[in-house]
Structure 1
Amino acid sequence: MDGSGAGANTGKRPNDRLTSWFVRSGWSKGELARQVNRRARELGAHHISTDTSRVRRWLDGEQPREPIPRILSELFSERFGSVIAIEDLGLRSAHQSPSLTGVDLPWAGPQTVTMISEFSRSDLMLARRGFLGSSLALAAGPALVEPMQRWLVPAPGGEPPAPGPADHTAPAGAQRPARLSPIELDLLESTTAMFRQWDAQCGGGLRRKAVVGQLHEVTDLLQENHPPATRRRLFTCAAELSQLAGWMSYDVGLQPTAQKYFVLALHAAKESGDKPLGSYILSSMSRQMIHLGRPEDALELIHLAQYGSRDCATPRTQSMLYAMEARAYANMGHPSKCKRAVRMAEDTFEDIGIDGEPEPDWIRFFSEAELNGENAHSYRDLAYVAGRSPTYASLAEPVMARAVELFRTDEVHQRSYALNLIGMATVHLLKREPVPATTLASKALVVAQRVRSERVNTRLRKTVDTAARDFGDVAEVVRFTDLLTAQLPETAEAV
């Protein structure tokens, strides 16, 4: 028995929902079976061996056992570029522990420490590609946005974070005494900054597990008794590491895992009292929603971030939030609102440094290059939403060219360089210029081979697929398509 069937009565009604998604996917039963088997092997579920007859039984109404429903949800979500929940496929989800699933979690310090500790430990123990993702479901719509709105609710009485948790993650007996010196705390914070630089330079696949391990160590420290100021700094460190673990998970394609880390990061940021950091975490969640084809959710998250940090965020952070607002409006097909947000991002960026206010390390990535890249992608997205509009493609071209030029000499932000090269290639495809598009894609391939980012790889493959579909008779396109197939691996493992 392969473990992929329900083992229940077979007199089921046909699963019309699954059949609809299956037909629209264009897959054959054999292709879907092969993809399920491949993903199952990545999860370590070697007992699963699906075939065409099993797929037929699912379409006929048989309910498969876990992790098949989660695998199907992930596969169809990736195929269509938006969240396809298990329930959307007409399948049932097995009950999961509330500490490891969902986003509607208690907003309290002790529970936050416990949840981060449990989740990071599980991630380390089950560190195979997609394994945790197979036990999680992506939240979207009100199920995501409404719990995040509680980030704005003040703590009772405005008290500082409570002392360390007395839960099953702590040793038996009295709470452990503090053993963290100021020098050690400084080192923790500098280590987080170093991890962030590695991610920008090498992609999320290189040091993800190291970041998760460091996060788990910080939760151990939060179980000790510290002065309030030290405790707030530790929660800030936990929030930054959890955001980074989420970002790296997002970068290698572990979407449910990424969302869970983002949610936990927001909880930790609330405990630290750091509203600008919370707004940055919400912007990461917003970017993920745009990636998953949920721009309305992205916009709500960005507006929540802007409202929550309007009186304390630096101009650089505010500019970044405006740029993300523009991306959301672009993907919703609202050109006037998109252009207004682009202008606000540019105007606010000019205010950086006027008051000499120091900025945290997590926002320093948002440079002139990043601003141009975001705004150019907004115009590029508008072009696609408007039916491949050459007008918006022309707006995107000079801004994207500026971003590419600035990132070209940036030795740290190599992933951003690759993404903007790909973005510029898509602009040329929109303008029906396949030869310069393949030239830029070739440069992106060189960078992609240096960074471990499934996001870069996927965007490069999609861009080349578009070029091959629209300009398959152009010699340069044919040559580069063959080169990409030979040199870029089909999958990237998360570590």
Structure 2
Amino acid sequence: MRAVITETKLPGDAIARLVRRVAAEHGEVLETNKSGITQWKNGVQPAGNVGVYLAEALSRALGNQVITLEEIGLTAPATRAPDWDADTLSALAELGRSDVDVERRQALGTAVYSVAALSLPSDDWWPRMANRGTTRGATATRRVGRGDLAAVREMTTLFSQVDQRRGGGHAWTSVVQYLTTDVTAYLQGKFTDERIRRELFSAASELAYLTGWMAFDGGRHPTAQRYFTEAVKLAAEAGDAPMAAHVLRAMAHQAIDLGHHQQALNLATASVEGDRYALASPRERALLGVVHARSLAVSGRRNAASKALLRAEDDLAAADSGIEEPDRVFFFGEASLAHETACALRDIGDLGGSVREFQRSVRTRKATAFTRTHAVTLGYLGSVHSQLNNIEQACATWSQALDAMDGIRSGRTRQAAADMRSLLSPYRRRGTTTASEIDARAAAYLSETA
């Protein structure tokens, strides 16, 4: 714990202020001061929910790195596997109430990302949920038809475009409110026919997934995990196997980023099994496959990862304008495949191949439409250049990344900026002008988006 606090280079009173700010965001008023920080550094367990707030505060101070309670010597709250059979609509309503109910917001705000919650439901759960969807009775008298379905899809597309351009820190509250009020009301209504019911539950699953993805991108990992779980349940009630695969892929991506490699592999493997892969469009198969390849790469399975990458390339090559595809894969093309491939090659130690693929991603992406990912790609590319001791090229690339980050609110761009500062530290101490300039720009970005 002492090492983590020291690494922030912030005095105790500054950390105390940040802890109080985090607590206030969760609806709790704290009297934490510098002496409290000193006690925690010496191993005293904070009372109540303060430990969770401290971990989040330190995460922010270190550029949105994920700091766990265990890493700072504190005891994490007990976690358990999700109740996959809990009522989906009730859970969505509860998530919605947490935004306006102080006590519930406070309770949910102290949750931690749960490895136990990455466990998959049993094989017989999927048909059971599909059957629940066909037998679920309406709890409201509102008649729900194709116009309502079209509205949900249009709003999801709009929110997704904002996320791609500006990051998960923009409009997230609006997405939550729309999902847990309007859309949940539709799900409780009387459907004009069974097809509308299935398609609306599938559309709701996509919106819940997007809500989780935006939270993930914003660094709010426990929140993202809850929405991903509900998205899987909604897809199961819709009988939409590819939609469920899409969410499992996102959960695997999150687990990779957080270092839970075996759980990531389990999730990614499930996403490419059975109908979840077989019924998906070629473009979505490529997306599922490349994340599966990344999970294999971080698990040390180099040959299997290489084979999975080749299959993902073949799947994307099979995508054709004449093939109907779900709107949710609009972002995935050559640039996205190259980005994920570069990450996999980096993780198996092929840094030269990683540079080549990151460069292909930068070259082929429509940066004005997918600005957030473009900035992240440039940040990653600069880091690989740094690993190869090409510091001048790294700085030039990072300069482009910081240009692209203007107006972006994303935990991943913040992490990229924090990585720049960390990797530039040896050069900054030598007084290298270019390194100092990039470091100052990265520090300014982190300060502006804190």
Deviations 1:416-443 (A, max 9, x none): 1111111211121121111121111111
Bigger CA drift: 239-248 or 53-62?
53-62
Q: Judging changes above 3 Å, is the alpha-carbon distance between structure 1 residues 208 and 427 closer, same or farther for their aligned structure 2 residues?
A: same
SS of the residue corresponding to residue 332 of structure 2 reads: coil
1:176-195 map, 5 Å: 176-195=140-159
Could you list the per-position Cα deviations for residues 133-181 of structure 1 after superposition, in whole angstroms to 9, with x for gaps in the alignment? 63212111xx22334456853217946433346xxxxxxxxx4223334
- Would you say the 8 A contact 1:327–1:338 is kept in 2? yes
Q: What's the secondary structure of 1:310's corresponding residue?
A: helix
Partner of 1:91: 75
Structure 1 counterpart of 2:190, one-letter code: N
Residue of structure 2 equivalent to 1:155: 128
1:333 shift after superposition: 3.3
State percent identity of aligned pairs: 26
Q: 1:426, 1:252 → 2: CA distance? A: 21
1:413 aligns with 2:365: no
Which of 335, 351, 357 aligns to 2:323? It is 357
1:202 counterpart letter in structure 2: R
Q: Which moved more, 1:147-156 or 1:436-445?
A: 147-156
Decide which of 263, 272, 290 is 2:238's aligned counterpart: 272
Question: Which residue is 1:172 aligned to?
Answer: none
1:184-231: per-residue Cα shift (whole Å, max 9, x none)? 321221111111111111111111111111101211222222233222
**Is 1:399 matched up with 2:357?**
yes
CA distance in 1 between partners of 2:14 and 2:206 (Å) = 38
Whole-angstrom CA distance in 1 between matches of 2:448 and 2:123 = 38
Q: Does 1:462 align with 2:419?
A: yes
Answering whether residue 112 of structure 2 is matched by residue 137 of structure 1, we say: yes
For 1:72-151, what aligned pairs fall within 5 Å after superposition? Answer: 72-74=54-56, 84-85=68-69, 89-91=73-75, 93=77, 103-107=81-85, 111-123=87-99, 134-140=109-115, 143-149=116-122
Whether the 8 Å CA contact 2:22–2:53 is kept in 1: the answer is no
Letter in 2 for 1:72: L
Residue 179 of structure 2 contacts residue 204 of structure 2 at CA under 8 Å; is this kept in 1?
Answer: yes
Q: Is the 8 A contact 1:149 1:304 kept in 2?
A: no
Question: How far apart, in 2, do the equivalents of 1:61 and 1:421 lie?
Answer: 40
Give the partner amino acid of 1:154. P
Deviation, structure 1 residue 58 = 4.3
The equivalent residue for 1:208 is 172
Do the aligned residues in 2 keep the contact of 1:34 with 1:51 (CA within 8 Å)? no
| Contact 1:204–1:251, Cα closer than 8 Å, also in 2 | yes
Letter in 2 for 1:163: R
Amino acid aligned to 1:325: H
Give 1:87 deviation, angstroms. 10
CA change 1:124–1:340 in 2 (3 A) is: farther
CA, structure 1 residues 123+148, in 2 after alignment: closer, same or farther (shift >3 Å)?
A: farther
Which residue is equivalent to 2:435? Answer: 477
The code of the aligned residue for 1:65 comes to A
2-side partners of 1:193 and 1:321: how far apart? 20
Structure 1 residue matching 2:408: 3-state secondary structure: coil
Distance 1:432 1:139 in 2: 37
Q: Which of 332, 342, 360 is matched with 2:299 structurally?
A: 332
Q: Report 1:292-371 matches (<5 A).
A: 292-308=258-274, 309-353=276-320, 356-371=322-337
1:305 counterpart letter in structure 2:
S
Q: 1:331/1:77 Cα in 2 relative to 1: closer, same or farther (>3 Å)?
A: farther
Q: TM-score w.r.t. structure 1 length?
A: 0.80
Cα 1:58–1:457 shift into 2, 3 Å: closer
| Aligned-residue CA RMSD (Å) | 3.1
From 200, 212, 215, the equivalent of 1:234 is: 200
Residues 131 and 451 (structure 1), Cα distance of their counterparts in 2 relative to 1, 3 Å cut: farther
CA distance in 2, matches of 1:307, 1:191: 30
Change (3 A) 1:131 1:368: farther
CA distance, structure 2, for counterparts of residue 469 and residue 162 of structure 1: 63
Taking the aligned partners of 1:251 and 1:436, their CA distance within structure 2 comes to 27
**Which of 448-457 and 282-291 deviates more?**
448-457
3-state secondary structure, aligned to 1:123: coil
Q: Does structure 1 retain, via aligned residues, the 8 Å contact 2:51–2:74? A: no
Q: 1:253 aligns with which of 189, 214, 219?
A: 219
Q: Provide the secondary structure at the position in 2 that maps to 1:438.
A: helix
Contact kept in structure 2, 1:422 and 1:459, CA below 8 Å: yes
Name the CA distance, whole Å, in 2 between partners of 1:151 and 1:459. 41
Which residue of 1 is the match for residue 397 of structure 2? 440
State the one-letter code of the partner of 1:353: D
- Point out where structure 1 has 5 or more consecutive residues left out of the alignment: 1-20, 96-100, 166-174, 384-391
Structure 2 residue runs of 5 or longer lacking an equivalent are none
Task: Give the superposition deviation at 1:491.
Answer: 6.0
- Structure 2 distance, partners of 1:413, 1:92, is 37
Decide whether the 8 Å contact of 1:262 with 1:281 is kept in 2.
Answer: yes
Residues 16 and 37 in structure 2, CA contact (< 8 A), matched pair in contact too: no
The question of 1:374 aligning with 2:350 is answered: no
- The answer to whether the Cα contact below 8 Å between 1:323 and 1:345 also exists between their aligned partners in 2 is yes
TM-score by length of 2: 0.88
How many angstroms apart in 1 are the aligned matches of 2:85 and 2:439?
49
- In the alignment of these two chains, the number of paired residues is 442
Q: Contact 2:402/2:442 (CA < 8 Å) preserved in 1?
A: yes
Larger deviation: 228-237 or 292-301? 228-237
